[in-house]
Structure 1
Amino acid sequence: MAEHPTGIPILLEPLVTRVLAPNPSPFTFTGTQSYVVGERDVAIIDPGPDSREHLAALSRAIGDRPVRAILITHHHRDHSPASRPLARMTGAPIVGAAPFAVDHADGRADAAFDRDYAPDQVLADGESVAGEGWTLTAVATPGHTSNHLAFALAETGVLFSGDHVMGWSTSIVSPPDGDMAAYMASLDKLMGRDDRVYYPGHGEAVDNPQRLVRGMLGHRKQREGQILRLLAGGDILPIGAMTAQMYGGLAPGLIPAAERSVLAHLYDLRTRGLVREEGAAWTSAA
C-alpha cells in the first residue's frame, strides 16, 4: 500500500482518517488500520498492536482534540492491545467488543487473543457512542470471533467492518471462538443494510460492499459444497487431506489457518446433520 505508508494519517473523507500500523504479515496484509473518526472531538477505532511507533502516529493524528472513546471491534492482538496505553494517554474509555478469554488444549486457536483486553463499557448491537457531528453504532457481527462488532457511522453511511469483511481476503473462522454458522448469519445481516462503503481492519476500502458480501457468501457455500463432495460415497478423510484438496497451491504457512476454517465448516455441517466424525476423520452422515 505504497500510497498509504505506515504511520502517516490519511484523510479518507471529512470524518475519517486512517493510520496504518507497522505490523504487516500474511494474516494482517499491510498491517492493522486504525481509524480516527470526527473533527472537533474524535473516537479511535481499533488502535492496533501495542507499538510505540504506532501510538506516536495516533497521537499525531489526534493532535490536541479530545478523545471521546476508543472502540474495539474484537479481541485479537493486532487490534486491541494499544487501547490500554492510548486510554492512559488520552483519558478516553475503552468501549465495544465484550471481553473474552478461552483456555483449551489447542493453542493454535487462542494464540491470537489479547488476553488483557478489558473494556470499560461493552456495546450491545444497536448501542452507540457519539461526539460532535458523529455517531458510531455497534453492529454485532459474530463469526470471525464470538464478540466481533462492526461500527456504523450514521452521518455518512460508512461501516467500519473490522475483520468480518475485508477486500483483500476472506476472514479466518477458527473454532471454538470462531463459528461458521454465526459468520454466515452475520454476512446475511450485512446484506440487509445499505452502507455506502466499508473501511476494514486490513486492506483497502470496499466501495461496493453488497457485491463483495454476496461474493463472500457464495465463496463459503462453495467451500461447503467441496467438503460434501469430498465426503460423498462414504469416504472418510482427515481435515489435512481435505484442506490439501480444497486449497491447492496454498503457501505452507497459511495451511493451519485453512484447516481451522475447514474445521469450522465441518462443525456447522455436523450441527445440520450432514457430516459426522469418525475418530480423527470425517465422513458424510447421509
Structure 2
Amino acid sequence: MASPFDPADLPTGMAIALSPLVHRVLAPNPSPFTYTGTQTYIVGEEAVAVIDPGPDDADHLAALTAAIGDRPVVAILCTHTHRDHSPAARPLSARTGAPVTGCAPLTLDDDGPRADAAFDADYRPDRVLSDGEQVEGPGWTLEAVATPGHTSNHLCFALRQEKALFSGDHVMGWSTSVISPPDGDMTAYMRSMQRLLERDDVIYYPAHGDPVDNPQRLVRGMMGHRKQREGQILRFLERHGESAIPDMVAEMYKGIDPRLFPAAGRSVLAHLIDLDGRGLAAPAEGGLWRTA
C-alpha cells in the first residue's frame, strides 16, 4: 500500500501508446486504493481487445469509444470483478457488439473496508476463460493466466507477441495488492506469485500504476515482502501473546496513510489465516490471535 498522491494533471481520457500493440486509457477514478485510476488497455491494430474496461463512467466510455474508433472489438476482457474494473464492460459491449470475456462472475458480500472495490454483482460474461485459454485477433494472441489471491476469480492475460502480461491487480508497480478475506487468499496469492516468477514475461502492464520492466525482480521482492510481514506477525505474537489485529497494524504499518489501516488489517488477517493453515498461528477468543 502506498502514500497519498496528487492526481492533478494526470492524462485521463487519452489513448497513450505503450508498444506497437498496446494503448492505455486512464479512467478518472483516482483514490488511495486505485492510485491514479484504473487503466484500460486496448490491444491490437486492425481489430482490438479491451482489457479491464473500468468503471461505468460516461467520460471514460467516451474516451474508450474514441480510442477504438471504427475498429472491430474482438473481446472485452476483465481480470476480475471489483467494480473499478468490470462495470464498463456492459455499456461498452452494447456500443461495440463485442462479447464480454475473461474471469468468472463472482458475487460475494466482501466485509472488507474497500467500498471502491466491492464486487460487480451485475457482471455477466458471455465467455469465461479457463487457465490457458486464448482470445485471438489479427497480429495478437491473449492467453488467460489464472492468478487467484487478490480475488478468487483473478486472471492475468499474456500477450504472446510481446512477452507482456496484463497483471490486473495481482502485481502493481506502485503498491502491493490488498488481500482481503473471505475471498482474498494469501496462500493462493503466494502460489500465483510463484507461478509468475517462473514465467518469461519481459514487461507487466498493471491495472494501476506504470508498466513494470524486469517483472521477475519485482515479483521476488513482493514475495520477500510478504515473508517479512509474516515474520513480523509471528514475532509480535511471540512478544505480546494473544493480540488483536489493530494492535499489530499500529506497530507494523507506521508511516502509512491512516485511511489505509483497515485495508492493512485485512492483509494481516489474510496472513494469519495462512499461518493458521500451516499450523503456525491460531485464533483465540474475542477475535484475538496467538502463536500455535
* TM-score tier (shorter): over 0.9
Query: Which of 109, 119, 128 is 1:122 aligned to?
Result: 128
Alignment partner of 1:102 is 2:132: no
Contact persistence 2:112–2:180 (CA under 8 A): no
The normalised TM-score by structure 2 is: 0.94
Which residue of 2 is the match for residue 37 of structure 1?
43
Give how far 1:115 is off: 1.1
Inter-partner Cα distance in structure 2 for 1:219 and 1:135: 33
The aligned runs of 1:198-237 (5 Å cut-off) are: 198-232=204-238, 235-237=241-243
Count matched residues: 284
Deviation by residue 1:252-286 (Cα, 9 ceiling, x = unmatched):
2101100000000000000111111111100001x
Given that 2:112 and 2:266 are in contact with CA atoms closer than 8 Å, whether structure 1 keeps it comes out as: no
Asked if structure 2 preserves the Cα contact closer than 8 Å seen for 1:174 and 1:257, the reply is yes
Of the structure 1 ranges 183-192 and 229-238, higher mean CA displacement relative to structure 2 is found in: 229-238
Structure 2 Cα separation of the partners of residues 8 and 180 of structure 1: 35
Matches within 5 A, 1:43-82: 43-82=49-88
- For the residue of structure 2 that corresponds to 1:168, the secondary structure is coil
Alignment of 1:246-261 (within 5 A): 246-261=252-267
Give, in whole Å, the separation in 2 of the partners of 1:103 and 1:255.
Answer: 20
Given the alignment of the two structures, is residue 155 of structure 1 paired with residue 164 of structure 2, yes or no?
Answer: no
- The 3 A distance-change label for structure 1 pair 81 and 272 is same
Distance in 1 between residues matched to 2:247 and 2:8, nearest whole Å: 38
Give the counterpart letter for 2:291 in structure 1: S
What amino acid sits opposite 2:135 in the alignment?
V
Alpha-carbon contact 1:123-1:138 (below 8 Å) kept: yes
Distance in 1 between residues matched to 2:193 and 2:118, nearest whole Å: 23
Gaps of 5+ in 1: none
Q: Provide structure 2 residue ranges, at least 5 long, that are not aligned to the other structure.
A: 1-6
Shift of 1:236: 0.8
- Report the 3-state secondary structure (helix = DSSP H, G, I; strand = E; otherwise coil) of the residue aligned with 1:253: helix
Q: Which residue of 1 aligns with 2:145?
A: 139
Q: Which residue of 2 aligns with 1:194?
A: 200
Contact preservation (8 Å) 1:137, 1:151: yes
For residues 2 and 162 of structure 1, the distance between their equivalents in structure 2, rounded to whole angstroms, comes to 23
Deviation per residue, 1:31-66 (Å, 9 max, x gap)? 000000000000000000000000000001100000
Q: TM-score, normalized by length of structure 1?
A: 0.96
Matched, 1:264 2:266: no
SS of equivalent residue, structure 2 residue 187: helix
Task: Give identity over the alignment, percent.
Answer: 67
Of 228-237 and 25-34, more deviation after overlay is shown by 228-237
Letter of the 2:20 partner, please give it: P
Displacement of 1:109 after TM fit?
6.8
- Higher RCO structure (Cα 8 Å, ≥6 apart): 2
Deviation at 1:249, TM superposition (A): 2.0
- The amino acid of 1:283's aligned partner reads R
Residue 103 of structure 1, CA deviation:
3.3
Task: Check whether the contact 2:165–2:205 (CA below 8 A) recurs between aligned residues.
Answer: yes
| 1:2 Cα offset (Å) | 7.5
Alpha carbons 1:167, 1:205 under 8 Å: kept: yes
Aligned residue number for residue 288 of structure 2? 281
Quick check: 107-116 or 229-238, which moved more? 107-116
1:236 partner letter = E
Structure 1 residues 107 and 215: CA distance shift in structure 2, 3 A: closer
Contact 2:149–2:179 (8 Å) recurs in 1: yes
Contact 2:203 2:213 in 1 (8 A): yes
- Cα distance in 2, alignment partners of residues 243 and 233 from structure 1: 15
Structure 1: which amino acid aligns with 2:25?
A: V
